[in-house]
Structure 1
Amino acid sequence: MNTSPRFRYYTATTLDGYLADENDSLDWLLTQPIDDDGAMNYGAFISEVGCVVMGATTYRWLLDHEVVDGKPWPYDMPCFVFTHRDPTPVAESIRIVSGTPGEHHSTLVDAAAGKDIWIVGGGDLAAQFAEAGLLDEVLVSIAPVTLGAGRPLFPRRFDLELQTVERNRAFVCARYRVVGPREPAR
């Protein structure tokens, strides 16, 4: 276990920087070959996670695509859904919250119980954590697909430092340290 939990944004993106298309479809992702035991695999990542954080759109996508036909909620750890809406939690582990990431920092750290906090998505929520100084790493698997438009990976100006890069079949897997906000060009 970590002594200080890391706030980590672990996701996949298209080569042109989109998480989902304009209709929130992940078809581009679900058709790519990947080795479940390869570089930056989900199993190794999730074993270090004690708490998940997501926005309302990600929560709705999970309800529409994963929690169907009697399938249970996919996370057995505390989950915080940041939203200004009022969705109904489908599991006891889900907490609906509003406000800024900074307002919930200590609650998230406590819920993670010494493990990492995973910002599942979306990109805007991850950027809000970064703006609050609460995003340590971006772990991204880049697929050989372009969409031209959709939900952006990270819709803010930030500098990142490449820590590692590997390949997992179709994906380039990169881990970045978040350096800080990038000043606008003059």
Structure 2
Amino acid sequence: MSRIVFETASTLNGFIADEENSLAWLFEVDADQVPAVAPTATVMVEGSTTYEWVLDHEHLLEQPHKWAELFGDKPTFVFTSRTLPVPTGADVRFVQGSVTDALPAIREAAGDGDIWIVGGGELAAQFLDAGALDQISISFAPAALVAGAPLFPRLLGSDRLRLKSANAVGQFAHVVYDVVPHASTE
């Protein structure tokens, strides 16, 4: 079965986007030093804020060929309650409702590959709430923000995380934790 991985970048003080939901702070680091992400993922999942930011920042509606350059032919599931545009040729699937309700379709699309939760932190937390988050992989950037979108807006104790690896990747500290399922109360 595929793993569900929240792979993201964060500031040192735990923000994944600034007050305007921008990731511009991340791209201030030398582009050659930004770590590669989720190489085993066959499906991407993201919230509408992340999706819209990427569309705008990368000019994907005006230059739809860039979608394939950035994401290949991976299906992308976007959690939203709104109608949003799709770059020509992109496999974007809009879903509404709970993570639990959407999981069967996401898992089917992933096959044996991993599912990459691109953003944001609240969406990743909903996967945790549903008992469906297997791994948290964070690249901490050499930057700090005074406010913004938190990395993970849930209480998650050390009893639920097991350090798998910690490495320097350019100016980033890349840390991977496996998520331990809740102990059964039966």
TM-score (norm 2): 0.86
Q: Matches of 1:129 and 1:180 in 2, distance apart? A: 12
Q: Residue type of the partner of 1:56?
A: S
Q: Matches of 1:109 and 1:23 in 2, distance apart? A: 32
Mapped pair 1:57 → 2:49:
yes
Following superposition, the deviation at residue 69 of structure 1 comes to: 4.2
Aligned partner of residue 93 in structure 2, secondary structure: strand
Following superposition, the deviation at residue 129 of structure 1 comes to: 0.4
Q: Tell me what 1:96 maps to.
A: 94
Q: Matches of 2:81 and 2:32 in 1, distance apart? A: 37
Q: Matches of 1:17 and 1:92 in 2, distance apart? A: 31
Aligned partner of residue 77 in structure 1, secondary structure: coil
Following superposition, the deviation at residue 88 of structure 1 comes to: 2.9
Q: Matches of 1:151 and 1:112 in 2, distance apart? A: 27
Following superposition, the deviation at residue 177 of structure 1 comes to: 1.2
Number of aligned pairs? 173
Structure 2: runs of 5+ lacking an equivalent:
none
Following superposition, the deviation at residue 87 of structure 1 comes to: 1.5
Q: Matches of 1:87 and 1:27 in 2, distance apart? A: 22
Q: Matches of 1:109 and 1:26 in 2, distance apart? A: 28
Following superposition, the deviation at residue 179 of structure 1 comes to: 2.8
Q: Contact 1:130–1:180 (CA<8 Å) still a contact in 2?
A: no
Following superposition, the deviation at residue 62 of structure 1 comes to: 1.2
Following superposition, the deviation at residue 27 of structure 1 comes to: 2.1
Following superposition, the deviation at residue 178 of structure 1 comes to: 1.6
Q: Contact 1:78–1:94 (CA<8 Å) still a contact in 2?
A: yes
CA RMSD of aligned residues (A): 1.9
Q: Tell me what 1:179 maps to.
A: 180
Q: Matches of 2:56 and 2:31 in 1, distance apart? A: 23
Structure 1: runs of 5+ lacking an equivalent:
182-186
Instruction: Kindly provide the CA deviation profile for residues 30-76 of structure 1, in whole angstroms up to 9, marking residues without a partner as x.
Output: 1213656x9x633xx32x11111000001101110121542432321
Q: Matches of 1:19 and 1:150 in 2, distance apart? A: 7
Mapped pair 1:167 → 2:162:
no
TM-score (norm 1): 0.86
Q: Contact 1:34–1:169 (CA<8 Å) still a contact in 2?
A: no
Which of the numbers 116, 119, 123 marks the counterpart of 1:118? 116
